[in-house]
Structure 1
């Protein structure tokens, strides 16, 4: 009888092994489908199934272009309108642009740009230059003036006018 019970145990072990392998495969398949479904809904598609040209266009859009800067070495100094007194304003400025050609053009036309910036600074009032909002407005006016000069000369525009140092007294 011992011989008869041994052959019956082997098919039972094979049945359990098949069941364990089948359950493992079902669990792995469920996990894979869950991940694929998540990627589909959150990412708009599965990796490798999108249009390659569209992916290249997205890469081109996301390219980072750093800003380059041009420091104006000499300060802009002028008198400003005060409360019955003569007041002075001094500003060290820098230009920022993503197109390096704009900075080369600004350097080339610096005498005209400096002249126009001194006019803009001199037309400001002492009271408005003491507030952060007034200085921000001055920076925006200076940016418009610089870009107007560059546009007249047929050059690309700058993106920023930055104050490195600013004093009113």
Structure 2
């Protein structure tokens, strides 16, 4: 009888220890999956491709290694009229282009480019282009005007942005 009692106590102690182990493993798994981070041993037996599909890491965007391409224009000085009063606009402009071909087109047709910019600038109202909205409209007008095809070849540069390097109204 003593042997049965000893065996019963041993079996009960073993079950208690196993129960404690199972509870701790269950709690660990619960919190691991709740935090969306699976322990490394949870993917044991899966191939590395399966493991990466099961727990994908966010892909970092590739670094931008391309250098921007700019086409600089000589500064412009234009007389503007507003309410019978003459004002002077001095503007430095650089054009950001997506490729070297667009930069070459701008350089090749520089007299036409300068003429178009002067025409667009001469149409401006000083009080309007002194506001941020007015400058944005001017950038849009310049971009649109300079991307119109150049005669007689009907080629046109692509322009990403028009940047003011100087902007003075007197």
Q: Smaller-chain TM-score range? A: 0.5 to 0.7
Paired residues in the alignment total 150
Instruction: Return the offset for 1:153.
Output: 3.9
Instruction: Name the counterpart of 1:52.
Output: none
How many Å separate the matches in 1 of 2:107 and 2:5?
98
8 A Cα contact 2:76 2:118, kept in partner? yes
Q: Could you list the runs of 4 or more consecutive aligned residues of structure 1 that deviate by over 6 angstroms after TM superposition?
A: 1-5
Residue in 1 that maps onto 2:164: 163
Q: Which secondary structure state, in structure 2, belongs to the residue aligned with residue 148 of structure 1?
A: coil
Contact 1:93 1:161 in 2 (8 A): yes
Match of 2:125 in 1: 125
RMSD after superposition: 3.6
Q: Secondary structure at the match of 2:74?
A: coil
Which range moves more in the overlay, 88-97 or 150-159? 150-159
Preserved CA contact (<8 Å) 1:150 1:157: no
Normalized per residue, the structure richer in helix is 1
Change (3 A) 1:85 1:122: same
Q: What TM-score, normalized by structure 1, do the two folds share?
A: 0.66
CA 150–9 in structure 1, closer or farther in 2 if over 3 Å, else same: farther
Partner of 1:96: 96
Distance 2:159 2:96 in 1: 6
Q: State the distance in 2 between where 1:131 and 1:4 align.
A: 96
Structure 2 gaps of 5+ residues are: 37-50
Unaligned runs of 5+ in 1: 37-45, 50-58
Q: CA deviation at 1:93?
A: 0.8
Q: Return 112-121 or 79-88, whichever deviates more.
A: 79-88
**C-alpha distance in structure 1 between counterparts of 2:14 and 2:91, whole Å:** 87
Corresponding residue for residue 110 of structure 1: 110
**TM-score of the pair, normalised by structure 2:** 0.66
